[in-house]
Amino acid sequence: MTGNKAVAYKEPGKVELIDIDYPSFELKDGPGVNPANVGRSVPHGVILKTVATNICGSDQHMVRGRTTAPPNLVLGHEITGEVVEVGPGVEFIKVGDICSVPFNIACGRCRNCKERKTGICLNVNPDRPGSAYGYVDMGGWVGGQANYVLVPYADWNLLKFPDKDQALEKIMDLTMLSDIFPTGFHGAVTAGVGVGSTVYVAGAGPVGLAAATSAHLLGAAVVIVGDLNKDRLAQARSFGCETIDLSEGGPADQIEQILGVPEVDCGVDAVGFEARGHGHDAKEAPATVLNSLMEITAAGGALGIPGLYVTGDPGGVDEAAKKGALSLSLGTGWAKSLSFTTGQCPVMKYNRQLMMAILHDKVSIAKNVNAKAITLDDAPKGYAEFDAGAATKYVLNPNGYLS
């Protein structure tokens, strides 16, 4: 049988390459698998040979020990692959197809899926609505930072690229369709970005840079990105963003220096629950981003919140934060009639359109997020460098598809 190596979470600060079983069309018991999912038959699935699979900031939350992820959980929810086997219930996807895998696992049959709310599918995770590969409390579907991975409900979930050769030429861009590009786009759309908008994106990590790219694609007049990391801010400036160094203080005054007023039309939170305060010695203060966004977003505006927030954070700064309860100035949001959109991005709502933008040279997302291909063996090093603040989107190359 074909071997299969995978990147697994071991303990806080540590990932390792381990041997795992080659996928079968059944969800087996293992780290993080919900007992109600053990033995679940997947005749509607396919097995992919992984073309590219990316390290995500959401993975880093687990690796830092900031979730209840168990040891040996196989990581990876950003997956692009070539179909090598199809289950007996698969009708349209064929062996040899190269496809993007939305990080949301969705059945295509439930009420939410039929309403395009694929981030909160009701049938794939016994714990709660919504699921993802290789993620804590998401049902136990095995992650894709591996040589091979099982994808359920393949006819529904997979986005097939129309031309294999063209896809491989643009694969470093197309691999971003599994998560960060649609997620950043969702943040911008739900923040109300349109032609002529002024936009503030909190966070210059890959999702923040994807949100800034998306704001440009949607016609924003000015896109401002704020962060504490100077290298990541430089990456934002490389494709036309204005930037704010939050180590020098909060965003309002610096926004006023750029726009002439201390507010923007649209705000995006691309940071999430490990947010820090402002200033040179900023400490973790998880409500900072949301409260500052409410302060600087114009009355009647909207906040897109693709940044991850959790209900269980063992490393939270206080007992409330450990349960996901933050000290929000909700009165500010109410008084300004601000709208909020949170939760997983429904990737399938956007991924085909964004694929077309990539294939027809309307956007260069890989360049904008500074994508870098590394081997599966180098995954621990990639995790460490990303955690240290590298202004890089690490793309794992398990099977040698990437030049």
Report CA dihedral (340, 346, 351, 354) to the nearest 10 degrees: 0
How high is the pLDDT of residue 1? Answer: 52
User: What is the four-CA torsion angle of 309, 190, 175, 390, rounded to 10 degrees?
Assistant: -50
CATH superfamily name and code, 181-341 = NAD(P)-binding Rossmann-like Domain (3.40.50.720)
The type of residue at 346 is P
The CATH classification of domain 5-179+349-397, taken from the options 3.20.20.140, 3.40.718.10, 3.40.710.10, 3.90.180.10: 3.90.180.10
CB atoms within 10 A of CB 14: 14
Looking at residue 369, its pLDDT comes to: 98
Q: How many CB atoms lie within 10 A of CB 97?
A: 19
Relative to beta strand 264-269, strand 297-304 is parallel
Sequence ranges of the domains in the chain: 5-179+349-397, 181-341
Q: Return the half-sphere exposure (C-beta side, CA atoms, 13 A cut-off) of residue 231.
A: 12
Structure tokens at 135: 């993620």
The residue assigned the tokens 């911008």 is: 188
The predicted-structure confidence for 242-276, as pLDDT tens digits, reads as follows 999 999 999 999 999 999 999 999 999 999 999 99
Residues in the chain predicted with pLDDT less than 70, given as ranges, are: 1
Decide: 274 and 308 in contact? Cβ < 8 Å. no
The reported pLDDT for the residue numbered 382 is: 97
79, 78, 156, 88: which is closest to 124 by C-alpha?
A: 156
| Residues 22 and 85: beta-carbon distance below 8 Å | no
